[in-house]
Amino acid sequence: PVYHQAKFINSAPHVKDAPEDIGLEVAFAGRSNAGKSSAINTLTGQKSLARISKTPGRTQLLNFFSITETTRFVDLPGYGYAKVPLEIKKQWHRMIETYLNNRKTLCGIVLVMDIRHPLTEFDRQMVDWCKQTRLPLHILLTKADKLKFGAAKNTLLAVQKEISGAQVPVTVQLFSALKRQGVDEIHQLLDQWLNF
Ligand code: GDP
């Protein structure tokens, strides 16, 4: 798959440091520890493209990866370390908001959730934001290997039910970086978003 060509471009401390806003970009969001880095590494077929070990409080960077010359992924900083000071949280909020509101090439958001803790407050904010801006949203319920198949399926249905009724495409799938479950499914969706 084309995604295996992914290469790190840069880490941007501010939105103004992002690569030129041309082409198509997919953003990955999620609560810290949800499994976002593992998901990015798995779907790009790389061991450590997105760094797995991150220091709380030092996660305020937008990390850009090129797929092809005109397509990119951006790894948004993980949200929700309890120990991060309020001021840092506010900064984080402003940066995400600035990015989401201004990035012309943004064509979809992948929201990564730990299947055992779906739809946190932050997740709901992202869902609402996507509904408002009519941006396609895809939810990865990751660490699906942590639940029995029936329980995973029930969570999938429950999340689907809760987020339905949006004017925009909102899709949900099971995923496991550990078992490489759901990789084809997300590749197919990204192919549509990025016109591959
Ligand atoms: P991030 O903070 O969202 O980038 O989360 P990471 O990708 O660093 O993952 C957080 C923790 O969850 C790590 O200990 C991972 O090994 C673990 N993890 C991530 N994905 C999976 C998965 O699919 N299955 C299982 N069992 N563990 C996972």
The reply to whether ligand 1 has any atom less than 6 angstroms from the CB of 14 is no
The reply to whether ligand 1 has any atom less than 6 angstroms from the CB of 147 is no
Ranges of H-type helices in the chain? 36-43, 86-102, 121-133, 149-163, 183-193
168 to 19, 27, 136, 171, 194: CA distances (angstroms): 27, 16, 6, 10, 17
Residue 127 CA to ligand 1 centre (angstroms): 22
The secondary structure element, H or E, covering residue 139 is strand 137-142
Domain extent at residue 17: 2-193
Selected residue with higher pLDDT from 165 and 192: 192
Q: Over 90: is that where the pLDDT of 186 sits?
A: yes
Q: Over 80: is that where the pLDDT of 83 sits?
A: no
Selected residue with higher pLDDT from 100 and 79: 100
Cα–Cα nearest to 80, from 96, 56, 115: 56
The reply to whether ligand 1 has any atom less than 6 angstroms from the CB of 37 is yes
d(CA 157, CA 21): 36
Encoding tokens for residue 33?
A: 């520890």
Average pLDDT taken over every residue of the chain: 91
Single pTM value for the model = 0.95
Percent of the chain residues past pLDDT 90, beyond the cut:
69
d(CA 89, CA 91): 5
Q: What ipTM was reported for this prediction?
A: 0.99
Number of domains in the chain: 1
pLDDT in tens, 126-181: 999 888 888 999 999 999 999 999 999 999 999 999 988 767 789 999 999 999 99
CATH of the domain at 127: 3.40.50.300
Q: Over 80: is that where the pLDDT of 57 sits?
A: no
Encoding tokens for residue 91?
A: 């900064």
